[in-house]
């Protein structure tokens, strides 16, 4: 193995700092914020029409989509109704819980990390 001699100008820039001492990242490490599923839970008392209304009002679903999801929750116990950033999911859960309470229905809405 022979040592290679370079002048400063020709020296390979192995640390990719262009000789400045400030290292430039070559591989980008873009972080995506974690997403959260918002879930609606079944219960025996909340009227079906109320759940359909909640899904239309707070989750932007069409009447047909809202009805399908409500039936899924009724039959299976729960369903994901949307996926959002932490802040949006938290706000949706709070709005739904407040709306249900104000109408004296026991409807439960929760969130969990995807
Ligand atoms: N199980 C309720 C009933 O029979 C309807 C219902 C559906 C309640 C979905 C909550 O998230 C729910 N009236």
| Of 94, 83, 90, 95, the residue nearest 32 (C-alpha) | 83
Identify whether 22 is part of a domain. Answer: no
Within the chain, residue ranges assigned H as helices are 48-59, 63-76, 86-102
Lowest-pLDDT choice from 11-15, 21-25, 65-69, 74-78: 11-15
48: tokens are 């079906």
**Structural domain count, the chain:** 1
Residues of the domain holding 55: 46-113
pLDDT digits (tens, 9 = 90+) for 25-59: 667 789 999 999 999 999 999 999 999 999 999 99
Task: Specify the pTM.
Answer: 0.78
Cα distance from N-terminal residue to C-terminal residue, the chain: 53
- Ligand 1 mean position, distance from CA 52 (Å): 9
Query: What is the CATH classification number for the domain harbouring 54?
Result: 3.30.1390.10
pLDDT digits (tens, 9 = 90+) for 67-89: 999 999 999 999 999 999 999 99
Is any ligand 1 atom within 6 A of the Cβ of residue 70?
yes
Q: How far is CA 24 from CA 14, 17, 28, 82, in A?
A: 11, 6, 10, 39
């Amino acid at each position: 193995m022979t040592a290679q001699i370079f002048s400063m100008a020709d020296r390979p820039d192995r640390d990719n700092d262009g000789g400045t001492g400030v290292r430039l990242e070559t591989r980008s490490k873009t972080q995506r914020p974690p997403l959260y599923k918002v879930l609606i839970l079944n219960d025996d008392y909340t009227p079906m029409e109320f759940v359909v209304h909640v899904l239309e009002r707070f989750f932007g679903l069409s009447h047909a989509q809202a009805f399908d999801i409500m039936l899924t929750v009724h039959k299976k116990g729960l369903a994901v109704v949307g996926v959002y950033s932490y802040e949006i999911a938290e706000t949706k859960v709070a709005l739904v819980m407040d709306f249900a309470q104000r109408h004296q229905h026991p409807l439960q809405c929760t969130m969990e990390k995807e």
